[in-house]
Copies of this chain bind each other. A is one copy, B any other.
């Protein structure tokens, strides 16, 4: 309840895992408040509450989001929330630089969460970066390594072995012993079957969760309702757990070689512990570990089956609640449970407890399949799982499982994060242009007519355009002087809304069109100081006299913006946007006259649907 109140009333953007938001941010979509200090505080506080409250959630997604916020904050050398400017890192007060820091922060978060520095780098690249830059990647890797090292160092103090650096990650899947980790050629088809199962269960998970999210968007949008739903889920989770532990008769003898740290007797006889309670009455991380490593025979198949079903439904219901919560660990737990069940059934069929049907191995594969089926990550997830288990031998089967899960899952429905991004209607650009878009040209995609400015423009005109809410573009082409509005002018530059606002705020006006500006010059610093919260146009007062002044844009505009001719095909425009990280692309005719403007939103509208190319409705943002 406390966690849900904090999220619902103080900072709703802190809800969920934060990974869809970070994905959007790295894609270039500006989501308000996603990397603010307040979000970080609420997120960290909220996730402590939801994990401690016993919900079916993990803390790994929020940790990735937190890493990103910390990086975004540190890189700016100031906090606008705390109204404190340390006068450093001013060079980084730009969108592109800040985005690089956010990707490094997300990587560091993954690295700390799973002890997977390489996996963190690949996560950032797979989910975020579009232009592969060697230096940036190396820096991200460095950040990940330092993050893992720092965590390691503090954990070694916590475990009273200060200085002995051997526990790399916060969750530890435990070391698979080298002697038992081998797999055999004939197991590979089994792994592929598990991948397919994982893809189907994952698709089912996503579908149910998608319906639930649509329901929530429609009916559960008031904060107090959201808090009540969270409380309901918590109550049901607790009830289900206790009921199932109570009715379970899976009591295991507490032998001398039992591996549980805190075996729970509960309703079992003396000298025995309740196996269902090991799965339910633990942090999810520890449950996953015991499913991976407990010796064969520790779990009853019925226990595992019932647990899988119950936990699956609880996890579906929990993800998307107004609490800070990740989906990684619940997915792994569901998968580990049915994977172990699969392994047990196999060894029953093979009618021998032979070494290859080690249920722990199948629990690992099941976990990979389920997680892959839900989030559909492949490369980074393989590496994360390999690093988290500390063993490279399983690399190939994990990859096979994840790939199968992705292929099977994609057949039914998109990945969980993509579904949530889609429900937010943001102009998210995918990796490739839609397949059948080759016949579309820039002319059909662009917004037209486009508002242009002259090199020397009247202040009143600029204020009017910026105040006009219907033309909410962020970039305006600057053209050579035109006589009428019927004929477009030749392009000579591009100026951003934020630049114009800073110019208006500092009143960089000239009296007549011919006179040059002799007042104080604007510095680059003035633009950086205003970043990232440029004042709205309404807050800038321009008097009637000033409206008649002129503003010379020549020295502030970008004199060589990227342009394309009207006939350029959509895939080519798309490639320019993705490869160069553009936000605006000016479309010109063969006389270099401005005829339109392509923005991210124009591109994101086109989407491959079931019936070919579809146009999406996108939120105003």
Contacts and interface: CB of A to CB of B under 8 A. Distances in A.
Contact of A568 (B164, B165, B182, B560): B560
Contact of A135 (B118, B164, B403, B432): B432
A184 B572 CA distance: 53
Interface stretch (A122-130, A547-555, A608-616): A122-130
A392 B130 CA distance: 28
Contacts of A569: 560
A142 B399 contact: yes
Nearest to A561: B565
B565 A149 contact: no
A215 interface: no
Please give the count of copies of this chain that the complex contains: 2
Contacts of A186: 163
Interface string A401-439: 001000000000000000000000000000110000000
B182 A164 contact: yes
B590 A492 contact: yes
A352 interface: no
A586 to B, nearest CB: 12
Contacts of A142: 399, 403
Interface string A373-407: 00000110011001100111101100100010000
Interface stretch (A59-67, A363-371, A573-581): A573-581
Interface in A101-134: 115, 117-118, 121-122, 125-126, 129-134
Nearest to A386: B118
A393 B166 contact: yes
Contacts of A556: none
Interface in A590-621: 590-592
Interface residues of A, number: 69
Contacts of A559: 567
Given A185-B165, A560-B564, A590-B490, A133 B431 contact: yes
Contacts of A575: 580
Nearest to A168: B392
A131 B134 contact: no
A212 to B, nearest CB: 29
A175 interface: yes
A575 B562 CA distance: 12
Contact of A580 (B391, B567, B576): B576
Given A132-B131, A564-B560, A567-B560, A182 B165 contact: yes
Nearest to A140: B379
A145 interface: yes
Given A133-B431, A572-B560, A580-B576, A396 B148 contact: yes
A281 interface: no
A399 B141 contact: yes
B129 A132 contact: yes
Contacts of A560: 564-565, 567-569, 572
A591 to B, nearest CB: 7
A344 to B, nearest CB: 23
A184 B117 CA distance: 19
A335 to B, nearest CB: 21
A393 B579 contact: no
The 3 closest A-B pairs by CB, nearest first: A132-B132, A579-B579, A560-B568
Interface of A: 115, 117-118, 121-122, 125-126, 129-135, 137-138, 141-142, 145, 148-149, 152-153, 163-166, 168, 175, 178, 181-186, 378-379, 382-383, 386-387, 390-393, 395-396, 399, 403, 431-432, 490, 492, 559-560, 564-565, 567-569, 572, 575-576, 579-580, 590-592
Given A118-B383, A133-B431, 19 more contacts: A117-B396, A118-B386, A121-B379, A125-B132, A126-B134, A141-B382, A141-B399, A145-B399, A148-B396, A152-B396, A163-B184, A163-B186, A165-B182, A165-B184, A166-B181, A168-B392, A390-B392, A492-B590, A579-B580
16 contacts: A118-B118, A118-B122, A121-B379, A125-B132, A131-B131, A134-B431, A135-B431, A149-B396, A163-B184, A164-B182, A164-B184, A165-B396, A560-B568, A560-B572, A580-B580, A592-B592
